[in-house]
Amino acid sequence: MRCAILGGAGFLGQHIGRALAHAGWDVWCVDRAAPPPPGNAPWFAGALRADCFDLQSWWGAVAGVELIVHLASSTVPATASQDPMHDVQTNLLGTLRLLQDLRRQAARPRVLFASSGGAVYGRPQSVPLSETHPTLPISAYGATKLAIEHHLHIEEAQHGLPCRILRLSNPYGEWQPPHGVQGVIAVFAHRALHGLPLDVYGDGSVVRDFIYAADVGRAFAAAAHHAGPQRVFNVGGGAGHSVNDIIHSLERLLGHAVQRRVLPARPFDPPVNVLDIRRAREELRWQPTMALEDGLAQAVAWLRTVP
Amino acid sequence: MRCAILGGAGFLGQHIGRALAHAGWDVWCVDRAAPPPPGNAPWFAGALRADCFDLQSWWGAVAGVELIVHLASSTVPATASQDPMHDVQTNLLGTLRLLQDLRRQAARPRVLFASSGGAVYGRPQSVPLSETHPTLPISAYGATKLAIEHHLHIEEAQHGLPCRILRLSNPYGEWQPPHGVQGVIAVFAHRALHGLPLDVYGDGSVVRDFIYAADVGRAFAAAAHHAGPQRVFNVGGGAGHSVNDIIHSLERLLGHAVQRRVLPARPFDPPVNVLDIRRAREELRWQPTMALEDGLAQAVAWLRTVP
């Protein structure tokens, strides 16, 4: 059983790679970025530096792939908003090119796609958000994730490429870079560790769904073998936590108060976004196992090693 | 009141142009194809041969546009399926480029977009299909139409460009070319007029929603002034008709039986697709006025003039 993780060198790729290796897969990392040093990610059977969307550049080198985990993305929500054409050109057209090239192969590997439970639904009409909630993305990032989902369904119906789509909430955990524009837990925890103030938009009551990245890894391992008719699964923590909750938990963990810098609330932040994960519980026989306080402690322990 | 119809030289563009001119608009036709001869479409105040998605190539020449009717498309469902990357590259990226260039203008014209009620919903879970039915396109054409819809919503929310989206069923009527791969009524009627057999997939019981193109034109004229919060409107005939119904009506009109060539049913044809048009009735105060038999007679009368 061999699999390739496209975008495997990143934070999530490492967690998903570890979970798949644990489940018996021979896991290859394909990424245009350098792979983690082998000592840091011993679960990768091999790593290739290549353009994930250019099948020819890696398919031959990783022979016999039965599973493709598609995490490759050139954007985050903020950069996709700034340049929606670039988002479409790279991520949507790149995925279409990959699908087209896969049609020419005899093999029909299963594709697991990391979509966004925070972006494809848009403004929640009710929470928790189930997979049947209307999909009305309010960001370019969400529109592209959803268009890729639709093309994956079409590819399976018309060309027999099996797929499963995992709509992730907000993953966090060790290896999440704390200097990016994504990942509030990593950013907050790292700043708090260095005595820097935390930027809070509005009163901090905004509720989000956080999922420990190793739990995300186990969801992908489960989806690799899922046999039912469903194709789309929410993968979240199963509960909501406010930004203030996160800050209080951090304060408890660190043993001291942290400073906040209060900024105006952002009109495009829905007040609450929590995923309904019943389908994943029932169909994938998966559920998150890490309590937020414990996962935070793991993340903070790792962030202490990051300058 | 000046408007530009992008893709205005086609069948629908002519009907929509006539309806808008009738409603008092100064209507310009923008199309990469040659416009209809002025004698054939006297309602156009002007016509420009240009790339609709390249704002610079027509915006200056049609000064003071308050309304853009976006009918421009480089594909039909069959060609989009054959080459989904081309569909995204031209129609989705073209529209994004147009929106980006419009941001640089002081004017905020309303955009009316012709989407597809036959393609964005996918397999009907219930009929008639209301605008709140899940959108799970099963064709590349539908996936692109839907992605454009999402980007129009985002553009309005983030950059104040007002939009209305009209999800059309199957338009028919005079000026619809009978030699294309779209437009079963034009194709059937023209073949029947020339004594050629009609290709019927399966038993002809498949039910579709047909809308007379002049009625579509009036729906666009109504949407140009719509003031409520809704953005998406189904525009259909309000009833379903089977392929066999169409053939029987044609036989009555022509006064003789027509020959059929029965082909295997196509698995991707949903058995029924009919749009719920209550929202358009209530919000646009619009409804179709042409009965199918009468519209067919109009179409046939025009097709008699086509070699």
- pLDDT tens-place string over residues A23-46: 999 999 999 999 888 788 899 999
**B2-170+211-235, CATH topology level:** Rossmann fold (3.40.50)
- What proportion of chain B, given as a percentage, has pLDDT over 90? 92
Q: Quick one: pLDDT at residue B36?
A: 84
Single-letter residue type at A182? Q
In this structure, which CATH number among 3.30.1360.200, 3.40.50.720, 3.30.499.10, 3.90.25.10 belongs to the domain B173-209+238-303? 3.90.25.10
Q: CA A263, A269, A274, A279 torsion: positive or negative?
A: negative
Q: Chain A: which residues have CB within 8 Å of chain B?
A: 81, 84-85, 88-89, 92-93, 96-97, 100, 132, 134-140, 142-144, 146-147, 150-151, 153-154, 157-158, 268
**How far is A172 from A211, CA to CA, in rounded Å?**
6
Q: How confident is the model at residue A268 (pLDDT cuts 50, 70, 90)?
A: confident
Burial level of B307, CB count in 10 A (0-12/13-18/19+)?
exposed
Token reading at B297: 């007679």
Residues from chain A that touch B157, judged by Cβ atoms under 8 A, are 138, 268
Q: Which residue has the higher pLDDT, B153 or A269?
A: B153
Q: In angstroms, what separates the C-alpha of A74 from chain B's closest C-alpha?
A: 17
Closest residue in B to A137 (Cα) is B150
Q: Which residue has the higher pLDDT, A271 or A143?
A: A143
Q: Do A151 and B140 touch (CB under 8 A)?
A: yes
Residues from chain B that touch A132, judged by Cβ atoms under 8 A, are 134
Q: Quick one: pLDDT at residue A14?
A: 96
Closest residue in A to B140 (Cα) is A151
- How many CB pairs below 8 A link A and B? 78
Q: Which of A139, A151, A153 sits opposite B84 (nearest CB)?
A: A151
Q: Residue ranges per domain, chain A?
A: 2-170+212-235, 173-209+238-303
Long-range contacts of A58-66 (CB under 8 A, 24+ apart): A58/A4, A58/A30, A59/A101, A59/A105, A62/A2, A62/A4, A62/A28, A62/A30, A63/A2, A64/A2, A64/A107, A65/A2, A65/A3, A65/A4, A65/A28, A65/A107, A65/A109, A66/A1, A66/A2, A66/A3, A66/A107, A66/A109, A66/A110
pLDDT digits (tens, 9 = 90+) for A167-189: 999 999 999 999 877 899 999 99
**How far is B87 from B81, CA to CA, in rounded Å?**
8
Q: Chain B: which residues have CB within 8 Å of chain A?
A: 81, 84-85, 88-89, 92-93, 96-97, 100, 132, 134-140, 142-144, 146-147, 150-151, 153-154, 157-158, 268
pLDDT digits (tens, 9 = 90+) for B55-98: 999 999 998 999 999 999 999 998 999 999 999 999 999 999 99
Best residue in B83, B102, B116, B154 for a mutation probing chain A (most A CBs within 10 Å)? B154
Q: Do A139 and B154 touch (CB under 8 A)?
A: yes
Q: Are B2 and B46 in contact (CB under 8 A)?
A: no
Name the average pLDDT for chain A.
95
- What proportion of chain B, given as a percentage, has pLDDT over 70? 100
Q: Are A201 and A265 in contact (CB under 8 A)?
A: yes
Q: Quick one: pLDDT at residue A240?
A: 96
Q: In angstroms, what separates the C-alpha of A141 from chain B's closest C-alpha?
A: 10
Residue B159: C-alpha distances to residues A57, B109, B232, B296 (Å): 40, 12, 19, 43
Q: Quick one: pLDDT at residue B82?
A: 93
Best residue in B90, B91, B93, B96 for a mutation probing chain A (most A CBs within 10 Å)? B96
pLDDT of B154 above 80: yes
pLDDT digits (tens, 9 = 90+) for B237-291: 999 999 999 999 999 999 999 999 999 988 777 789 999 999 999 999 999 999 9
ipTM of the complex: 0.94
Q: Are A2 and A46 in contact (CB under 8 A)?
A: no
pLDDT digits (tens, 9 = 90+) for A135-155: 999 999 999 999 999 999 999
**A2-170+212-235, CATH topology level:** Rossmann fold (3.40.50)
- What proportion of chain A, given as a percentage, has pLDDT over 90? 92
pLDDT of A119 above 80: yes
pLDDT of A231 above 90: yes
Q: Do B96 and A84 touch (CB under 8 A)?
A: yes
Q: Which of B96, B158, B268 sits opposite A85 (nearest CB)?
A: B96
Q: How confident is the model at residue B23 (pLDDT cuts 50, 70, 90)?
A: very high
pLDDT digits (tens, 9 = 90+) for B195-242: 999 999 999 999 999 999 999 999 999 999 999 999 999 999 999 999
Q: Quick one: pLDDT at residue A181?
A: 75
pLDDT of A267 above 80: no
Best residue in B95, B150, B268 for a mutation probing chain A (most A CBs within 10 Å)? B150
One-character DSSP codes across chain B? -EEEEETTTSHHHHHHHHHHHHTT-EEEEEESSPPPPTTT-TTEEEEEES-TT-GGGTTTTSTTEEEEEE---S--HHHHHH-HHHHIIIIIHHHHHHHHHHHTSS---EEEEEEETTTSS-S-SSSSBPTTS----SSHHHHHHHHHHHHHHHHHHHH---EEEEEE-EEE-TT--TTSSS-HHHHHHHHHHTTPPEEEETTS--EE-EEEHHHHHHHHHHHTT--SS--EEEE--SS-EEHHHHHHHHHHHHTS---EEEEPPPTTS-SB--B--HHHHHHS-------HHHHHHHHHHHHTT--
pLDDT digits (tens, 9 = 90+) for A45-97: 999 999 999 999 999 999 899 999 999 999 999 899 999 999 999 999 999 99
Residues from chain B that touch A144, judged by Cβ atoms under 8 A, are 147
pLDDT of B181 above 80: no
Q: CA A94, A98, A103, A104 torsion: positive or negative?
A: positive
Residues from chain A that touch B54, judged by Cβ atoms under 8 A, are none
Calculate mean pLDDT across residues A285-292.
97
Q: Do B97 and A85 touch (CB under 8 A)?
A: yes
Q: Do B136 and A146 touch (CB under 8 A)?
A: no
Q: Do A88 and B85 touch (CB under 8 A)?
A: no
